[in-house]
Structure 1
Amino acid sequence: MKQLTLLIVLVVLYCLPMQAQPGKGVRWSHDGQAYFKATPAGIEVYPLSGATATVKVPAAAFNGLPIRDFYFSADEKKLLLYTNAKKVWRYETRGDYWVLDIATGKLQQLGKGKPASSLMFAKLSPDGTKAAYVSEHNIFVEDLQSGNTTALTTDGTRRFINGTFDWAYEEEFGCRDGFRWSPDGKQIAYWQIDATKIRDFLMINNTDSIYSFTVPVEYPKAGESPSACRIGVADIRTAKTTWMQVPGDQQQHYIPRMEWVPGKNALIIQQLNRKQNESKVMLCDAATGKVRSLYEEKDSAWIDVKSRWDDDNIAGWDFIRNGKSFIWVSEEDGWRHLYNVNMEDSKVTLLTPGNYDVISIAKIDEANNTIYFAASPENPTQQYLYKVLLTGGKAERITPANQPGTHEYKISPYSNWAIHDFSNAVTYPVNENLQLPAHKSSTNAVMNAISKAGNAPNKPEFFDITTVDGVTMTGWMSKPANFDPAKKYPVVFYVYGEPAGATSLDAIGAGRNFLYDGDMAADGYIYVTIDNRGTPLPKGRQWRKSIYRKVGLINARDQAMGAQALMKKYSFIDPERVAVWGWSGGGSMTLNLLFQYPDIYKTGIAIAAVGNELTYDNIYQERYMGLPQENREDFVKGSPITYARNLKGNLLYIHGTGDDNVHYQNAEMLLNELIKYNRQFQFMAYPNRTHSISEGPGTFEHLSTLYTNYLRTHCEPGGK
């Protein structure tokens, strides 16, 4: 059972465009030679050398509080503990915080008089004498010695938000923690979000009370203006705020990034216009609020912010030379590359020339004049560690050539150690500590795991397929057990197909269907995925952005033509038994394939789909589709409900009624269209479940059983 549960978790992580929980980063020791980890024994120190772990802070010191997360002060003399965590939309970002003085043993709760589990993003001041946090949409600073608390803001409400963000900013930019201590600890810079003009979307809870009640979400739909946003700097001593004089209409622009500039009483921010195709980096004088433009960028489609390529992490700014310049990621030359932006004269220098994409920055090692980054120039389904000189030049691969798959590196503060995580389609996740830049491991855990998995049965086969449109796509295929090429087998396509995620990665989860109750290979199914244009593979800007204003059209055609090309190439695929399924954007894709290409796809299972693109949030939908006020017809053409009348095959549609992300109204709009044209289908609503349909006892088992039974009934398994 443990292995099954682990597999489900891993496949969800790798195959669905889910986001990672905040606060998951490594807690490095001050000297960079070890990392800290919370265990039942307390906070333990794990040397990167592999030496035995020791207890730094015993659990008894904090009365055995169940620790959700923790942070040490810069001098490691104080320990900030996060416990009793509760969800805010998707993530557990509010709870209780405690501070432990390690030398004296004093343990004190922050915000003691405030409601339980109401504190968010507590942070110790740079000198460790104070703590700041958000509670009920206001920002507070608490003196750790006296316990006195100062409110830096007092006007916060559910719709007027200080120090954190509204639903759309969190979901689409990865913005959650909305304040920053100044380096000298005398000021706090923060976001203020004014959602008072945003209409509430009302979800209905029919199950937790005899009388139903509504659950409001401030949710700007496509075509609606976003929340207004501004940046303030609060003086800790006076509690007075100086507002930054950022140009432009506050409700027609976004400010997804803001940090303090090292060594200056200044902020650096990134502002996007509403269409998100114009980006401006600006410097803000914290004392006067005056702002000047530093670097501007435009794109005919859209511009991705840091969280889109940095594992949903929007925080931080990659400064070098003591804040005199910074490293910037841009697709200006057609590939995602690294640039050095000089803050004194705004000169921009390309650092990673070549026809390949930088996937993400792993570490900037200024002491050794090196930038470590992830890339995979030869195979877009994989990921490896590269390095380049800080002055730019030819990239050098660090990951050994005999370790094919997906690699991630968490590099220590001084860049001489890394925690190396690895998996591929047949190798379960494994990690090891290794030394850089030699990539030397004392345990060889990754190589041993690769060798052990080398003879795994029923390996998924990776392929390239070219369609009649001349589009070449990557994918994988998992064949049935005891495969006989002379027989014809049913095929199940797993799809997503939007800019938020790729499915053809060479990582654990490839070839596995976490929702199927049983063994698809043993039952005689072929399982396939293909990544169409518009997915975030490292194949260049044109690949990713060709989907602009064509979501629901170009991606659906790529999938359909890819399926046709596969069936033409492989005679063992039975064209009469073709099924497709997906979740969220993949659910939308499933509907579009069933409705737009009914002669190809015979059975579909769509979960939590956007049936009408006009119902989804403005940040996501307008980024990829433009503004409905200007090109509404594109939204209509890309929406599955437009083609619902064309349904010929078998459809199972599933949605949670408490979905705050893709609202349940999508299900009812779709049902109305199908009913209008007398199209028969099966429908399952999960009461009060969210987008993940994970809440409540028995939910996953029920969903898995429903999915499996429907597939077996309408797409008969086995070779013929």
Structure 2
Amino acid sequence: MRKILILFISITSLVTAQKNNISVEQIWDGTFRTERMNSLNSMNGDFYTLLNFNRETQSTTIDKFSYATLEKVETIVDSKNLSDLKYFESHSFNNNETKLILGVDSEPIYRRSSLGVFYAYDIASKSLQLIDEEKIQEPTFSPDSKKVAYGKNNNIFIKNLETNEITQVTVDGLKNSIINGICDWVYEEEFSFVKAFEWSNDSKNIAFLRFDETEVPTFSMDITGKELYPTQQVFKYPKAGEKNAIVTLHLFNVDTNKTANINLGAYEYIPRIKWTNDSNILCATTLNRHQNDLKLHFINATDNSSKIVLNETDKAYIDINDNLTFLKDNSFIWTSEQDGFNHIYYYSKEGKLINQVTKGNWEVTNFYGINEATKTVFYQSVEDGSINRTLYSIKLNGENKKRLSKSSGTNRASFSKNLNYFINTFSDANTPPVYTLHNGNGDQLKEVLNNNKLSSELESYKLSKKEFFTLTTQNGQFNTWMIKPANFDATKKYPLFMTQYSGPGSQSVSNSWNSANDYWYQHLAQQGYIVVCVDGRGTGFKGADFKKVTYKELGKYEVMDQIDAAKELGKLTYIDANEIGIWGWSYGGFMSSNCLFKGDDVFKMAIAVAPVSSWRFYDSVYTERYMQTPQENPSGYDDNSPINYADNLKGNFLLVHGSGDDNVHVQNTMRLSNALIEANKPFDQAIYPDRTHGIYRGKNTRLHLYNKMTKFIQKNLGEKETKLELLKN
């Protein structure tokens, strides 16, 4: 019996020993990439398209599929059949899906914006028509499909596809001065849209925003490049408290070629414009500078008159989303936190509240649409726990709520346009994405795609389970996950490495499949580290009060919570309270810097990547939403700036930034570095030339960065026993 037991133990040890470690190289070479459905686009009726690339023919296709059968119905276009276009990178349909705009030679500008060469493709005749000789932005079919409007050189143009005639709508566009129809930097980044023009449903009018950036301060960055002399990137960037672009709303009438200026009263921002189902009525959203007074305006295109149909205020701020949905009679769906949690509301076309559709101490996280025939609303929420996402339907009157997704984890839906079907993407911490087809009642019809192959491949790796729990500190209860080494021994003490982002309304603790960073955390766990993530106060999906407690004090309560969390975790018998590190990127880098400086008795080391070092350096829209202006709230800015606590540094600190970061400027790292130098504090620094906020462009960039961070952790966190474990691996 003893021999059998010894043999069993030996075999088990052998199996464990044969498990592979995850290398940093594998994280970034695509080894753990999941399969997905490329560019799924819901079509009219019960169909969808996918953009596919054929490696054998080096051609691009748009393939049409049936929601009901998942079978391919046809290939709508294949670039191998187009003599003038060997491939294309993007596509968009006209309203009746008889034409396409195909894009190629995309050239990125900022996070969401790009330039490209675009063609109009007629599906019936298989003819290709170049829209403009130059690179353009955001080409959009008119609803009658006869024209395409687009942005070029800060102006708006219209191409008549029938006559090839081009009409220039605006003429005053000028770089770093006037922009027509395309968002400025701060709108694109913080209000999350690029195209600032919209066709009316009858194709008679184009509503557009005009940005006068003349008095916005200019920011410049040196671009190292590859030539003998570097160049400069110069653009308008309104920092907190500085002048914003003056944004105005205009209506261009296609028939008369005349433009009208629309008076919206007093406001600072126009974060959304959208035509209603009445072709004559445009809806414009305005915000004051504090972003706590929102108005919905209905503008009549006949006489250009405007009236306010909804006015919402908040003691802190109001988030902007894309959930505004008009029904056939111009009544509308709106989502709001007005009862303390984000919910769905139904208003008449006059702006009178008809009813609150969803209610409860939980958040609606996505609104998918309404089937007007059945008066059924489809949405996603955290009713199944704030780390999960679940799909539901409910009647417009708030009755007959039904859960559509069965598994607890993260469920995301792609609905057919008529809402008869949806493809659900499900994952959790242990299940890579699975795509399944459902009808509108939630019944699963069949599986579309799974990542079983990846699951099987991962069985050969030394992976640890991500454990979810609630961590209690003196200031609350917080969602937390923990990854322990696969060979975890509760009698040993392990160094702790904390990860977080912590920004307003964000979430890092979610029951979803691995990101690239999760594989990195597994890599660290293999080497003897316990990795933990805690979502403290200010993060999202637990109600407005939990999220907005950080108002006017970014970096105060969030830092307090990370420090307290580290102290509580340090009390666990298997964690070495003297060996705790933390890291973060962007807002997370702001946090990790503050945690090391303010929690100098708790944290031994920190890594800050692309951090904000003072909110005085960041943009107006984001910063003032949470902080008001520096002129109004100087202490909120300065009492929580890592720069002002540089002399507290005791531990080891790695500061990383891309010199081409147009978002969080490298100025942040340079000013923090200077403060550390003046305080005579040693620290490590890495500057990635010309890399933007994501630090990813260029050969081996991410690999280099993660190798650097890994070695820094190995050197500065963990006692001798851990370092010996690292050497073994």
TM-score higher than 0.5 here?
A: yes
CA distance 1:66–1:451, shift in 2 (3 Å): closer
CA distance 1:511–1:697, shift in 2 (3 Å): closer
CA distance 1:264–1:74, shift in 2 (3 Å): closer
Deviation of the 1:202 alpha carbon: 1.1
Which residue number in structure 1 is paired with residue 425 of structure 2? Answer: 421
CA distance 1:30–1:2, shift in 2 (3 Å): farther
Which residue number in structure 2 is paired with residue 126 of structure 1? Answer: 143
1:533 corresponds to which of 533, 537, 543: 537
Which residue number in structure 2 is paired with residue 193 of structure 1? Answer: 211
Deviation of the 1:440 alpha carbon: 1.3
**Residue type of the partner of 2:153?**
E
Deviation of the 1:441 alpha carbon: 2.8
Equivalent runs, 1:359-370 vs 2, <5 Å:
359-370=365-376
Percent identical across equivalent pairs?
32
1:28 corresponds to which of 42, 47, 52: 42
Question: Which whole-Å CA distance do the structure 2 matches of 1:37 and 1:450 have between them?
Answer: 23
Is the 2:115–2:137 contact (alpha carbons within 8 Å) kept by the matching residues of 1? Answer: yes
**Residue type of the partner of 1:399?**
S
Deviation of the 1:486 alpha carbon: 0.2
Question: Which whole-Å CA distance do the structure 1 matches of 2:646 and 2:38 have between them?
Answer: 42
Classify the secondary structure of the residue corresponding to 1:662: coil
Which residue number in structure 2 is paired with residue 247 of structure 1? Answer: 265
Is the 1:499–1:544 contact (alpha carbons within 8 Å) kept by the matching residues of 2? Answer: yes
Question: Which whole-Å CA distance do the structure 2 matches of 1:343 and 1:490 have between them?
Answer: 59
1:319 corresponds to which of 322, 326, 348: 326
CA distance 1:510–1:486, shift in 2 (3 Å): farther
Equivalent runs, 1:175-214 vs 2, <5 Å:
175-214=193-232
2:479 corresponds to which of 457, 467, 474: 474
Alignment of 1:56 with 2:76, yes or no, is yes
CA distance 1:515–1:225, shift in 2 (3 Å): farther
**Residue type of the partner of 1:344?**
E
Q: Whose radius of gyration is greater, 1 or 2?
A: 2
CA distance 1:498–1:300, shift in 2 (3 Å): same
Which residue number in structure 2 is paired with residue 47 of structure 1? Answer: 66
Question: Which whole-Å CA distance do the structure 1 matches of 2:87 and 2:498 have between them?
Answer: 42
Deviation of the 1:394 alpha carbon: 6.0
Which residue number in structure 1 is paired with residue 343 of structure 2? Answer: 337
CA distance 1:508–1:556, shift in 2 (3 Å): same
Question: Which whole-Å CA distance do the structure 2 matches of 1:52 and 1:511 have between them?
Answer: 32
Alignment of 1:554 with 2:569, yes or no, is no
Which residue number in structure 1 is paired with residue 272 of structure 2? Answer: 257
- Matched pairs, number: 688
Is the 1:124–1:131 contact (alpha carbons within 8 Å) kept by the matching residues of 2? Answer: yes
Give the TM-score normalised by the residue count of structure 1: 0.91
CA distance 1:365–1:5, shift in 2 (3 Å): farther
Deviation of the 1:560 alpha carbon: 1.0
Which residue number in structure 1 is paired with residue 250 of structure 2? Answer: 232
Question: Which whole-Å CA distance do the structure 1 matches of 2:458 and 2:666 have between them?
Answer: 45
Give the TM-score normalised by the residue count of structure 2: 0.90
Question: Which whole-Å CA distance do the structure 2 matches of 1:43 and 1:522 have between them?
Answer: 43
Q: Which runs of 5+ in 2 are unaligned?
A: 1-24, 54-58
Which residue number in structure 2 is paired with residue 460 of structure 1? Answer: 466
Classify the secondary structure of the residue corresponding to 2:661: coil
Alignment of 1:271 with 2:295, yes or no, is no
Which residue number in structure 1 is paired with residue 619 of structure 2? Answer: 617
Deviation of the 1:475 alpha carbon: 1.0
Is the 1:353–1:394 contact (alpha carbons within 8 Å) kept by the matching residues of 2? Answer: no
Is the 1:427–1:453 contact (alpha carbons within 8 Å) kept by the matching residues of 2? Answer: no
Is the 2:34–2:451 contact (alpha carbons within 8 Å) kept by the matching residues of 1? Answer: no
Is the 2:384–2:408 contact (alpha carbons within 8 Å) kept by the matching residues of 1? Answer: no
**Residue type of the partner of 1:563?**
A
| Deviation per residue, 1:462-503 (Å, 9 max, x gap) | 01011022x100010000121000000011101111115311
Classify the secondary structure of the residue corresponding to 2:432: strand
Equivalent runs, 1:83-94 vs 2, <5 Å:
83-94=104-115
Deviation of the 1:404 alpha carbon: 2.0
| Deviation per residue, 1:131-151 (Å, 9 max, x gap) | 111111111111112111000
2:588 corresponds to which of 569, 586, 589: 586
Which residue number in structure 2 is paired with residue 639 of structure 1? Answer: 641
Question: Which whole-Å CA distance do the structure 1 matches of 2:278 and 2:453 have between them?
Answer: 46
Question: Which whole-Å CA distance do the structure 1 matches of 2:464 and 2:248 have between them?
Answer: 55
Question: Which whole-Å CA distance do the structure 1 matches of 2:342 and 2:378 have between them?
Answer: 15
2:685 corresponds to which of 659, 683, 693: 683
| Deviation per residue, 1:591-628 (Å, 9 max, x gap) | 01000101111011110000111000010000011121
Which residue number in structure 2 is paired with residue 288 of structure 1? Answer: 303
Question: Which whole-Å CA distance do the structure 1 matches of 2:357 and 2:31 have between them?
Answer: 39
CA distance 1:281–1:52, shift in 2 (3 Å): closer
Is the 2:277–2:327 contact (alpha carbons within 8 Å) kept by the matching residues of 1? Answer: no
Is the 1:190–1:233 contact (alpha carbons within 8 Å) kept by the matching residues of 2? Answer: yes
Classify the secondary structure of the residue corresponding to 2:329: helix
Which residue number in structure 2 is paired with residue 437 of structure 1? Answer: 441
Deviation of the 1:125 alpha carbon: 1.3
Question: Which whole-Å CA distance do the structure 2 matches of 1:196 and 1:473 have between them?
Answer: 46
Which residue number in structure 1 is paired with residue 576 of structure 2? Answer: 574
Q: Which runs of 5+ in 1 are unaligned?
A: 14-22, 307-313
**Residue type of the partner of 1:43?**
I
Classify the secondary structure of the residue corresponding to 1:630: coil
Deviation of the 1:167 alpha carbon: 0.5
Which residue number in structure 1 is paired with residue 241 of structure 2? Answer: 223
Question: Which whole-Å CA distance do the structure 1 matches of 2:373 and 2:52 have between them?
Answer: 31
Which residue number in structure 2 is paired with residue 542 of structure 1? Answer: 545
Equivalent runs, 1:291-310 vs 2, <5 Å:
291-306=306-321
Classify the secondary structure of the residue corresponding to 1:643: helix
CA distance 1:8–1:650, shift in 2 (3 Å): farther
Deviation of the 1:344 alpha carbon: 2.4
Equivalent runs, 1:109-120 vs 2, <5 Å:
109-112=130-133, 115=134, 118-120=135-137
Q: CA RMSD in A?
A: 2.5
Question: Which whole-Å CA distance do the structure 2 matches of 1:649 and 1:682 have between them?
Answer: 11
Classify the secondary structure of the residue corresponding to 1:564: helix
Tell me whether 206-215 or 617-626 shows the greater mean CA deviation: 206-215
Is the 1:151–1:239 contact (alpha carbons within 8 Å) kept by the matching residues of 2? Answer: no
Deviation of the 1:30 alpha carbon: 2.1
Tell me whether 256-265 or 134-143 shows the greater mean CA deviation: 256-265
Question: Which whole-Å CA distance do the structure 2 matches of 1:202 and 1:627 have between them?
Answer: 23
Tell me whether 205-214 or 85-94 shows the greater mean CA deviation: 205-214
Question: Which whole-Å CA distance do the structure 2 matches of 1:43 and 1:453 have between them?
Answer: 31
CA distance 1:445–1:699, shift in 2 (3 Å): closer
CA distance 1:345–1:477, shift in 2 (3 Å): closer
Classify the secondary structure of the residue corresponding to 1:675: helix
Classify the secondary structure of the residue corresponding to 1:667: helix
Equivalent runs, 1:476-491 vs 2, <5 Å:
476-491=481-496
Alignment of 1:79 with 2:100, yes or no, is yes
| Deviation per residue, 1:315-357 (Å, 9 max, x gap) | x73012431x111111111111111121225235211122211
Equivalent runs, 1:627-666 vs 2, <5 Å:
627-666=629-668
**Residue type of the partner of 1:223?**
G
| Deviation per residue, 1:382-419 (Å, 9 max, x gap) | 1010111112236332111xx22111001111111111
Is the 2:60–2:78 contact (alpha carbons within 8 Å) kept by the matching residues of 1? Answer: yes
Is the 2:310–2:351 contact (alpha carbons within 8 Å) kept by the matching residues of 1? Answer: no
Is the 2:42–2:417 contact (alpha carbons within 8 Å) kept by the matching residues of 1? Answer: yes
Alignment of 1:411 with 2:415, yes or no, is yes
Classify the secondary structure of the residue corresponding to 1:443: strand
CA distance 1:213–1:452, shift in 2 (3 Å): closer
CA distance 1:458–1:409, shift in 2 (3 Å): same
Question: Which whole-Å CA distance do the structure 1 matches of 2:526 and 2:648 have between them?
Answer: 34
| Deviation per residue, 1:254-279 (Å, 9 max, x gap) | 01111112124121111000000110
Classify the secondary structure of the residue corresponding to 1:322: coil
